[in-house]
Amino acid sequence: MDNCVDYEHDHSFWVHTMTTEWDLVCERVALKTLAKLILFTGFALGSFASGLISDRFGRKTAIWYSSITMVVFGVITSFIPWYPVFVFTWWVTGTMAIACYTAAFVWTMELATGKWKIILGMSMNYSWPFCRLIIAGLAYVLRDWHWHLRIISAMVAVGAVLLFWVPESPRWLIAKSRTDEAKKILFSAAKRNGKDIKEEDIVLKVQGVPKNMGIQ
């Protein structure tokens, strides 16, 4: 806009937005696109790093640490009063978000077998549109972006707590030659599914690790 020197924000509906917080209008409007661009570089980094970390330390560990980091930086971001610092903390939050999802997807695929790989794999992708509906509801009820991030972070915190009751990926444990731990998890799963099997009857063999990572 030419000669955009005198303006004011309408707060009758939105109490606080990122646009009104840092005056991202007129010649500063490109800063919104810049923030999103930087955020997507975090998505790229998180997707790549998540695989390395989860392969090294475990799927569950990668999910938990990325979740906790996402919660911490999500809350920090909601209080940041400076745009450059906000972009950085938002970038960390986004990086951890995609890292968590990537590790969780692999973990789910390694826990499932047969038709459940398809069912669970596709179901996980519905989390994206479902969460966008939640955010739309938050935006209508709470018209302040600071509270949006805090509530979303609180929901992530709930997921991090629930991880204490879920097992590590048996396939990852077997690949790391931790077959005794994997056997306990598989035996527990068999009992929950009504399978009449003894733990000592479960035989796990690792073939060609780490070169082939074959699991029998």
Go through the domains of the chain in sequence order and give each one's CATH number. 18-165 (1.20.1250.20), 170-215 (no CATH)
Whole-angstrom CA distances from 177 to 45, 82, 109, 182, 184 are 29, 48, 19, 9, 14
Contact 173, 179 (CB under 8 A): yes
Question: Residue 46 burial (CB < 10 Å; 0-12/13-18/19+)?
Answer: buried
3 state DSSP class of 207: strand
The Cα–Cα gap between 9 and 21 comes to 10
Contact 43, 95 (CB under 8 A): yes
pLDDT higher than 80, residue 200 = no
- DSSP assignment of 122-144 equals HHHHTHHHHHHHHHHHHHHH--B
Prediction pTM value = 0.83
The Cα–Cα gap between 169 and 61 comes to 10
Predicted local distance difference test score (pLDDT) of residue 59:
94
Phi/psi of residue 48, each to 5°? -75, -50
pLDDT digits (tens, 9 = 90+) for 108-153: 999 888 898 999 989 988 988 998 898 899 888 988 999 999 999 9
Predicted local distance difference test score (pLDDT) of residue 177:
86
CA atoms in the 13 A half-sphere facing the CB of 161: 6
How many residues in total does the chain contain? 216
pLDDT digits (tens, 9 = 90+) for 57-97: 999 999 999 999 999 999 999 999 999 999 999 999 999 99
Predicted local distance difference test score (pLDDT) of residue 208:
57
Whole-angstrom CA distances from 198 to 3, 64, 171, 204 are 79, 31, 19, 14
Predicted local distance difference test score (pLDDT) of residue 6:
77
Lowest mean pLDDT among 31-40, 41-50, 74-83, 190-199: 190-199
* Mean pLDDT, range 36-51, rounded to an integer: 93
The Cα–Cα gap between 55 and 92 comes to 21
Proportion of the chain above pLDDT 90, given as a percent? 50
User: DSSP strand E in the chain: where?
Assistant: 206-207, 214-215
What is the average pLDDT score of the chain? 87
Residue type for 9, please? H
